[in-house]
Amino acid sequence: MRKISTLLLVFLSLNLFAQLPKLERIEPANWWVGMKNPSLQLLVHGDRIANSQVKLAYPGVRLVKVNKVENPNYLFLDLSISSAAKAGKFPIQFIENGKVIAQHIYEFKDRSTQTDRVKGVTSADLIYLLMPDRFSNGDQSNDVVKGLKETSLNRDSMYYRHGGDIQGLINHLPYLKELGVTTVWMTPEIENDMQQASYHGYAATDHYKIDPRYGTNELYKSYVEKCHAMGLKVIKDIVHNHIGTNHWFFTDLPMKSWVHQWPKYTQTTYRDQTVMDPHASEADRKQMLDGWFVPSMPDLNQENPFVQNYLTQNHIWWIEYAGIDGLRLDTYPYNDPAYMADWAQKLKAEFPNLSIFGETLVWSVANQAFFAGGNVVNRGFDTRLPGVTDAVLKDAIYEALNGKNGWTDGVNRLYATLAQDFLYKDPSKNVVFMDNHDMSRFYSMVGEDFDKFKSGMALLLTMRGIPEIYYGTEILMKNFSNPDGLVRSDFPGGWKDDTTNKFVENGRTAKENEAFNFVKKLANYRKTTSALQSGKLMQYIPQDGIYVYFRYDESKTIMVIFNSNEQEKEMSTDRFFERTKAFEKARNIISGEELSSIITLKVPAKTTLVLELK
């Protein structure tokens, strides 16, 4: 992709005041009375709308300030909404020379009275991550939408649209329920009207609109309601850091400082260390935070108060509109730290049960903990970020499965990583995973070794934190992230012309069914076992390639034994007396076998046993 030579020229060239309606849009399109924060800032976009005077009158609503900015096609209206304001509609008028040139009927609605509508996602949940374009096509009528820039549908290419949509996901919610999933996370669903390869959703072109190839705002809200009716929760994936170059407000920037400007195209270094390094140069830190992620994704300037208000209000709008339970924050380390702390505080004020976790694909526990909430001593402020994506624990599990044992290698890496949980305020809020849409699939990463696959899934589903699985992991979908992006392949059976349907038992191979049933058994056991959800974790130093930990509370004690060796091992349980002294027997959760004694145990090669002690 060609480089952008001068962003200042981009700003100037994009602001030649192309033909616009007198009033093109007002965002947020509506709001709610009864919000904790009485302030609201409306973005108004229209042809030289700044030449107008603004008039509105509604009980309990006061126009505090009309902000004019560099681009005369914008106004930012600061409103104050009293606690006495009632739901209703009222006109906002734009007047020039004593004449009304445009009018918009704005609406305040009542907030939802359902107290548990936003439920929050906790360590009692199991998250299922999917890409809507690649999961299932439930509505062929929206595969190609006239007027959008990408009009090709090509399932033979990983870089074109494949036609999956929200209706396709709705159709298969019973499949997820059967598997034992409690929470659904889609990659971003909002409009990405880019020329190509924006099916992933991370290049937004309209923050308030579901991409029409996925459905409508109304369908998205219905999807959340259907999930809740089935006992499922919903996570929305949001991006603070960047947008797509075809975003409507990038093609007509409100002001130069809306995005980070550089004399020539400057990409981020992707070096999160510069944010935490006490010895870092300001130049390195600036490039990390302000450099563009890629040329097609302009970097939003989160130090700009107008940008801050726009993003914060947008996220509040979606939660109140649809009743979302949690947010996953894309590219968290690249965002302005002070703003993100303020953002989290404002959202939690409106939705106390809302769950938030940030993507932190970094290389050490200390790096992850730096971004997590509660690390006030090292940061000087609280990020108020409850949890992170625990990529370091993921790497440690891979090392335990694939590595050779040494003082800090092999299974000892897993032990040592968990031993650093003291760095987190609450590690149970971290999301634990083995793969996602940006990395090689789990089954391929363990060399398609089925024993390792089962061991890894057992570790994932008994570990502290919130487990997440990537779509298709449960049926042994495979492939590496490079070079062809095949980790984003379609789920077989999600399209009417698919020759196989892996959503149903008779469409899967014997091994795929074994994998599915293995995950199903553990996931559903976890749903009814508080010890695996919120119980304490006690681990023991690995010996002879065997790693043992316990999850326990007042109701149950679960013993997890991982044998990383290539051969079966017999193990005495004497050294675990601290946790086993009250028990004589056990039940193998996977096989259902009842063990009459736990004094010595035989552990097959490359196997994780999950035992409920009795």
pLDDT tens readout for residues 453-508: 999 999 999 999 999 999 999 999 999 998 788 999 999 999 999 999 999 999 99
Backbone angle region of 551, left / alpha / beta, with phi > 0 → left and psi within -120 to 50 → alpha: beta
pLDDT at 367 over 70: yes
pLDDT of residue 1: 34
Confidence band (pLDDT; 50, 70, 90) for 5? very low
pLDDT of residue 158: 93
pLDDT of residue 115: 87
Active site residue 330: yes
Tens-digit pLDDT profile for residues 536-554: 999 999 999 999 999 999 9
For residue 425, what are its two tokens?
A: 């305020």
pLDDT of residue 377: 83
Nearest to 207 by CA among 237, 166, 228: 237
Please compute the mean of the pLDDT values over residues 340-362 and round it to a whole number. 98
Average pLDDT of the chain is 95
pLDDT of residue 579: 98
Tens-digit pLDDT profile for residues 561-573: 999 999 999 999 9
Among residues 150, 299, 325, 330, the one annotated as catalytic is 330
Instruction: Please name the residues in contact with 579: beta carbons below 8 A apart, sequence gap of 6 or more.
Output: 538, 550, 552, 557, 559
pLDDT of residue 13: 41
pLDDT at 3 over 50: no
pLDDT at 8 over 60: no
pLDDT of residue 256: 98
Residue 468: helix, strand or coil by DSSP?
strand
Nearest to 488 by CA among 237, 157, 138, 243: 157
CA dihedral 396, 398, 402, 405 (to 10 degrees): 10
pLDDT of residue 442: 98
- Weakest-pLDDT range from 15-24, 256-265, 301-310: 15-24
| Predicted TM-score of the model (pTM) | 0.96
Spatial separation of the C-alpha atoms in residues 43 and 77, rounded to whole Å: 7
Spatial separation of the C-alpha atoms in residues 48 and 530, rounded to whole Å: 60
In the chain, the percentage of residues whose pLDDT exceeds 70 is: 97
Tens-digit pLDDT profile for residues 206-226: 999 999 999 999 999 999 999
pLDDT at 15 over 80: no
Among residues 150, 290, 320, 359, the one annotated as catalytic is 359
pLDDT of residue 19: 67
Spatial separation of the C-alpha atoms in residues 171 and 100, rounded to whole Å: 48
Tens-digit pLDDT profile for residues 91-135: 999 999 999 999 999 999 999 999 899 999 999 999 999 999 999
Nearest to 118 by CA among 310, 394, 347, 323: 323
pLDDT of residue 6: 41
pLDDT of residue 500: 98
Q: Kindly calculate the radius of gyration of the chain based on its CA atoms and give it in whole angstroms.
A: 26
Domain architecture of the chain: domains with CATH = 19-110 (2.60.40.10), 127-531 (3.20.20.80), 533-613 (2.60.40.1180)
Active site residue 435: no
pLDDT of residue 223: 98
Tens-digit pLDDT profile for residues 267-320: 999 999 999 999 999 999 999 999 999 999 999 999 999 999 999 999 999 999
Instruction: Residue 574: count other Cβ atoms within 10 Å of its Cβ.
Output: 9
Tens-digit pLDDT profile for residues 594-608: 999 999 999 999 999
pLDDT of residue 14: 47
Please compute the mean of the pLDDT values over residues 256-266 and round it to a whole number. 98
In the chain, the percentage of residues whose pLDDT exceeds 90 is: 94
pLDDT of residue 569: 97
Confidence band (pLDDT; 50, 70, 90) for 20? confident
